[in-house]
Amino acid sequence: MFAGKQRGLFLLLIGLGVWSAFYIPSQDVVVAQQPTGSIPTVTGTPTGMIVRVNFDLNVVNVYSGPSSYLYPSVGVLLKGQEVPAIGVSEDNNWIQVYYPGIPGSIAWVYSPYVTIIKTGRLPRVQAPSTPTPLSTPTINPSLAAAFIDPSTPTRLPTFTPPPELIIPTFLPEADTSNRIPVGLLIVVLGFIGAFGALISFLRGN
C-alpha cells in the first residue's frame, strides 16, 4: 500500500512537470492611452480656395499685412506648399491665408508667388493697422559731437579773370595782277643758264 502511494505521488509529480513544460502563461495586453484632445487639421472653407506656392520659388515670405514694407515678416512658405486662402486685399495683390503658429493664425502672401488650385469666392479684407515701433531711436548730440572731427571753414581763393583773348588778324593780300609770275621768271633764268652752258660747250670744242 505504501508502494502504491509512492507510485501515485511519483505519477503526480511527473504530470505536474509535463504540465509546467507545456504551459504558456497568458500575456497582459496593454492598451495605449489615446489623447483626449482634438488634433487640429488645416482644411479650407467650402467657399474659400486653396493656393499653392509656385514650384520655381524655394521660399516665400509671409507678412502680417498686405505689404512687405509696412508690415514685418511672420514666417515662410516652402515650394509647393498648399494653404487655405481666407481673403484678398483691396488691390488684389495680396492673399490672406491661414498660417498657424502666429497670433490670429493669419498671414498675407504676395499673389504672384502662389497659384490657385481650388477656386472659390474670397471676400475683400481691409489691411490691418500698421505696427508702431517700440521706440524711436535718438542720437545724443553731445555723444555724436565727440566722434565728429571739427573742421575750420576756409575761404575760397579770389577769382582772377583770365587775360583777354586776342584773335590775330591777317592783312589783305597785295594785288599781284601786274607782276611777273615767279615761276615764269625761274623758267626764263633756267633757259638762259642752259643756253650759256651750251655755248660754252660748243666754243670749247
Q: What is the pLDDT of residues 73-121, one digit of tens each?
A: 999 999 999 999 998 998 989 999 999 989 889 999 999 999 988 777 7
Q: Given a cut of 60, is residue 11 above it in pLDDT?
A: yes
Q: CA 155 to CA 132: how far, in whole Å? A: 47
Among 33-37, 111-115, 182-186, 193-197, the minimum mean pLDDT is found in 33-37
Phi/psi zone of residue 92: left (φ > 0), alpha (ψ -120 to 50 degrees), beta? left
More confident residue, 157 or 68: 68
Query: How high is the mean pLDDT of the chain?
Result: 76
Among 12-26, 29-43, 103-117, 169-183, the minimum mean pLDDT is found in 29-43
Q: CA 96 to CA 127: how far, in whole Å? A: 10
The pairing of strands 114-118 and 59-63 is unpaired
Q: Given a cut of 80, is residue 205 above it in pLDDT?
A: no
| Cell numbers that stand for 138 in this block | 535718438
Q: CA 114 to CA 59: how far, in whole Å? A: 11
Q: What domains appear along the chain, each with residue ranges and CATH number? A: 51-118 (2.30.30.40)
Is residue 177 very low, low, confident or very high in pLDDT (cuts 50, 70, 90)? low
Q: CA 70 to CA 132: how far, in whole Å? A: 10
Is residue 38 very low, low, confident or very high in pLDDT (cuts 50, 70, 90)? very low
User: DSSP string spanning the chain?
Assistant: -HHHHHHHHHHHHHHHHHHHHH--PPPPPPPPPPP-SPPP-----TTSEEEEE-TT-SEEEEESSS-TTTS-EEEEEETT-EEEEEEE-TTSSEEEEE-TTSGGGEEEEEGGGEEEEE-----B-PPPPPPPPS------HHHHHHTSPP----PPPPP-PPPPPPPP--PPPPP-TTSPPHHHHHHHHHHHHHHHHHHHHHHH-
